[in-house]
Chain A
């Protein structure tokens, strides 16, 4: 059911035009943060105002939209944003990654490999990767302009000195196209390798900070590391308890108050597809 009284995809045409201009610039300069006039959206900052505006700007009538939050299609934010666009734009929505043309996400990149022609839209809370180290915006812009990123390694050094390994597990800084340092939004570093040379166009929107940036298809995205402490992704001791997958990002689920827990795929679509195809994890086998 579409709601009448709104322009297609909620935002007015001039705003979408402004956003598209900013996005074109962002695609032209991979990893560079382009300022844009962020609008008031009918949801609070931090809930995906940046992603929603980017999605609204790029959505067409023939698009098929998938929205995930923490990898799941069924969480409150994902359901609400999907319904928002179903009502204001009347576009088709889906849970299936291969069918989607636009995928708005928070925290995850789907386990199913993306294809050429698809667009990922990331909701970004903090677009500035240097923010924690240098709070002054004027200074961070200058550092980006001069590609002066040495002290990002100070943070990684500090991690190794303190914990013995690079302890940054999400929003892990990446260098895009050998030029701009970029915050990949709070995706786990498990997903960082998926950014590299991805066939899909990847757009990032930060509503509160009023910035968009992009990684065009087939662009080099390199996670920062040291020669003797190379970048590595998270690993788990056990496969997914529901579908038995050993190659996906797992969430810990607490089962009771005596230490019972299980690990399951955070990507709910991937997990249910595998279960439908006959794969079963330890929890499913026990129940059977």
Chain B
């Protein structure tokens, strides 16, 4: 089997400072990779590079396009890249307000990708949107409400539905559970885990919460100062950390 995403030597500098340096990894279909590290360790820079929102200074990102095999993202035309980003990829923002259109209804939010990819049947768009709202445990009867009328956790689930509606193969998530209280977090994690397994999604999840990584991720990438300091299977890294920084990170978890 070939990897879905192959990253090598990815580097981004902000002037003299390092955003992230020489990051490389492979992601296989259906695999969840968590990127952990403290604030400022380059997690978000990495995610922005992967989503091609930021241009890398060096390194390559290759993605296994349907029917074309591993293709260098930098060689795609802008039109192809945008098409890819709204069909085969998803991006879940930390703050759902950044990932949702707040001035249109929940149904329009979920249906936007469908309409952007050519769906022109109102009834079908609407029933697909309702179907997806049900899948992320939102009341389909609330399809015409604005996102602002939903709670924070519900907005996050709406954002997930909006991204998954085109059945992407790769989803990038930036701290999807940050800012939610623990019980809502738990339900969201449960939902994510279920979606990931039932659709065979591959995902890169950036988080500072090791519990999230433990629950969702198959593999772990530990970053510090823009560099990857340790990588391995989640349980292996968390139970037997090798790098001093990972040891510090694991030992910093509060035990209740």
Chain A positions within 8 Å of B, measured between CB atoms, are 142, 146, 148, 150-151, 153-155, 157-158, 160-162, 225-229
Contacts and interface: CB of A to CB of B under 8 A. Distances in A.
> What 8 pairs between A and B have smallest CB-CB spacing?
A150-B116, A153-B115, A226-B122, A227-B121, A146-B79, A158-B104, A150-B115, A157-B108
Contacts of B48: none
B37 interface: no
Contacts of B111: 154, 157
Contact of A160 (B112, B116, B122): B122
A130 to B, nearest CB: 13
A161 B115 contact: no
B115 A154 contact: yes
Nearest to B113: A150
A161 B107 contact: yes
Contacts of A228: 121-123
8 contacts: A142-B78, A148-B116, A150-B112, A150-B113, A154-B111, A154-B115, A157-B107, A227-B120
Nearest to A153: B115
A194 B105 CA distance: 33
A229 to B, nearest CB: 5
Given A150-B116, A151-B116, A153-B115, A161 B105 contact: yes
A223 B39 CA distance: 49
Contacts of B171: none
B101 A154 contact: yes
Interface in B68-85: 78-79, 82
Contact of A229 (B101, B116, B117, B122): B122
A7 B120 CA distance: 52
A173 to B, nearest CB: 13
Given A151-B112, A161-B105, A227-B121, 18 more contacts: A146-B79, A148-B79, A150-B112, A150-B115, A151-B116, A153-B120, A154-B104, A154-B108, A154-B111, A154-B115, A155-B104, A157-B107, A157-B111, A157-B115, A157-B122, A161-B144, A162-B105, A227-B120
A150 B114 CA distance: 8
Contacts of A157: 104, 107-108, 111, 115, 122, 125
A158 B116 contact: no
A125 B123 CA distance: 34
Contacts, number: 55
A154 B110 CA distance: 10
A139 B79 CA distance: 14
Chain B interface category by residue count: 20 to 34
A44 to B, nearest CB: 31
Nearest to A155: B104
Interface of A is mostly: helix
B120 A226 contact: yes
A226 B125 CA distance: 10
Contacts of B82: 146, 148
B107 to A, nearest CB: 6
A148 B118 CA distance: 11
A265 to B, nearest CB: 33
A227 B113 CA distance: 17
B108 A161 contact: yes
Contacts of A229: 122
Contacts of B104: 154-155, 157-158
Contacts of B79: 146, 148
A278 B54 CA distance: 70
A162 B108 CA distance: 11
B140 to A, nearest CB: 13
A158 B108 contact: yes
Contacts of A148: 79, 82, 116
Contact of B112 (A142, A154, A161): A154
A156 B216 CA distance: 38
B120 A146 contact: no
Contact of A158 (B78, B105, B121): B105
Interface in B33-90: 78-79, 82
A247 B69 CA distance: 58
Contacts of A154: 101, 104, 108, 111-112, 115
Interface string B15-37: 00000000000000000000000
A279 B3 CA distance: 76
A209 to B, nearest CB: 23
A148 B116 CA distance: 7
A157 B115 CA distance: 9
Nearest to A229: B122
A160 B122 CA distance: 8
Contacts of B116: 148, 150-151
Interface in B145-177: none
Contact of A162 (B78, B123, B144): B144
Interface centre among B111, B122, B126 (most CB of A within 10 A): B122
A228 B108 CA distance: 16
B146 to A, nearest CB: 10
